Amino acid sequence: MSTALIDSCPCNHSTESEALPIIAARLVVKFEATTREFVAASDQNLGHLETQIQQQAQELLRQATERGAQQKADQTPPRCPGCQQELTRRSADHARTFESRFGPLTIKRARGYCRRCHQWRFPADAALGLEETAGYSPAVQEMAALVVSKMPVGEATAVLERLTGVKLPRATLDREARRQGQRAQELRRQLDQKTTQGLVPALQPELTLEPYQMVIQIDAWNIRERDDWGRTQALRRKGKEPERWHWVYTGTCFRLDHRGQTAGGRPVITQRGFVATRQGIDGLREQLHAEALRRGLGQAAGALVIADGAVWIWRLADDRFPEARQRLDFYHAVQHLAAVGRALYGEDKEGLKKWLKPLVKQLKNESAVKVVRQLEELLAELPSGAPSSEAVAKEINYLKEHEERMDYRAARRRGEPIGSGPIESTCRQSQCRFKRTGQYWSPVGDEALLSLEMFWRNDRWHLLFPHSRPSDPSKN
């Protein structure tokens, strides 16, 4: 880069070859003028000054970044970014323009051919973190991923421009976020693979003096999808009901000794792993297993799976966490008791309440066996074949099937959770995000979006965007 001092162009734009200190000095003069106007203006508050100073500084920031990018490009060795092979048939000065945090940047870089990969390569692009096909700097890639995983695309476009000045049309933003989501998905796959092969140490490096339990909670919820939108009538004419609801499988895991309280007495879990996937039960099983390993399953004194009564969940637990104890979520058990009550009392809400209360207490403080025995005695007194007796028998079967999983008294004595509150709050948060109007993606898009969300929630965002600093997990 030449540092020759050339007159600035009369329109007040600085020219390419001007030295940064000159641009900076001119900017300071501008700041001072703006400040004088601001001080004199009766209708401006600090917000006006903040906005103007930022806008005026933009060109200096853009140029500083562009020059830095060019210097790095110039110094990048002519090796293949894929295989490190020295490139042949090299030529220089291939210009590329891309969008950055501070506006469009143009750099010139070298190109060469890799005889091993049989491809033309631009080593500088890889060194700068530019993708082959998309024209965005790493900071803009991160912005797109973050805003789209937090809000509907239409809003994201406006919010992004308002807060950062970066203008990405809706379709472009959507495409870039998906691209980042797919990258997240691939990185997740690699991380999970390394974890399950024992190549990565568990997340908790501190010495564990006290033995701890690992709690794993599993659930699933529905999201609506737009794959059949506009085809509803056509499908119905063929006698098919368009399928629009699809399962998202979720899990969370945490160490019992990472449970605590805020200053205000609210229960919190300081470090917790999250999984959410559209890749079915198989996807959940593998991802949750890897997440639990990362959170210290391998070093745990024991593990505990808490969930509702869905068959697939216990199958998954038997399969992937065979050593773990299993517990039926207390509130699900209570719902089944209440179903017995409704069969007996019908519309008599007071009667139902009076009947249910002591049973719930017994279930919590005494034993499930005792509760089930009372229900069986009750059933024996009902006229056989009556609809109420059928309903009661069904609920007794359910409770008997899970008798072993209703060790609530022992759980409470050991200070273990009896309900799956944490996973349900995970679901609520994600559902809230997914169920907002206009936010239904395709299955592929959903998985990409979920991957991004999980990198964020699991404090692994910096693995995806290395320029961002790792966050403090205790602040979650």
Q: Which amino acid is at 440?
A: Y
**Look-up: residue for tokens 């505990």?**
304
Strand-pair partners of 94: 109
The nearest distance, CB 120 to Zn ion, in angstroms, is 10
Nearest distance in Å: CB 116, Zn ion = 5
- Interacting residues toward Zn ion by CB under 5 A: 80, 82-83, 85, 114, 116-117
Contact in structure between 143 and 173 (CB atoms under 8 Å): no
Distance CA 467, CA 258 (A): 29
Nearer to Zn ion by Cβ, of 84 and 106: the residue is 84
**Measured CA angle at 300 (ends 297, 306), to 5 deg:** 70
Nearer to Zn ion, 116 or 349 (CB): 116
Q: State in angstroms the smallest separation of the CB of 420 from Zn ion.
A: 49
Total length of the chain = 476
Residue 472's Cβ-count burial label (10 Å; 0-12, 13-18, 19+) is exposed
Q: How far is the CB of 209 from Zn ion (least distance, A)?
A: 49
Q: Which is nearer to Zn ion, 120 or 331 (CB)?
A: 120
Nearer to Zn ion, 132 or 350 (CB): 132
Which tokens go with 360? 């719930």
In whole angstroms, the minimum distance from the beta carbon of 150 to Zn ion comes to 37
Q: How far is the CB of 122 from Zn ion (least distance, A)?
A: 12
Min. distance of Cβ 110 from Zn ion in angstroms? 15
Pinpoint the alpha helices (H) of 226-295. 232-237, 280-294
Q: Which is nearer to Zn ion, 84 or 442 (CB)?
A: 84
Nearer of residues 8 and 85 to Zn ion, judged by Cβ: 85
Tell me the CA distances in angstroms from 296 to 36, 73, 195, 260, 315, one per residue in order: 59, 42, 11, 18, 22
Q: Is the dihedral of CA 417, 420, 423, 424 positive or negative?
A: negative
| CB 214, CB 303: distance < 8 Å | yes
DSSP 216: E
Nearer residue to Zn ion within complex by CB, 87 or 168 = 87
CA dist., res. 96 & res. 74, Å (int): 14
- 3-state DSSP: the chain helix, strand, coil percent, rounded to 5? 55, 15, 30
**Is the Cβ of residue 77 or residue 346 nearer to Zn ion in the bound state?**
77
Least distance (Å) from Zn ion to the CB of residue 115? 8
| Residue among 312, 305, 338 nearest 404 (CA) | 305
Minimum distance from residue 466 beta carbon to Zn ion (Å): 22
- According to DSSP, the residues that pair with 103 across neighbouring strands are 100
Q: Are 80 and 123 in contact (CB under 8 A)?
A: yes
Q: Which is nearer to Zn ion, 79 or 94 (CB)?
A: 79
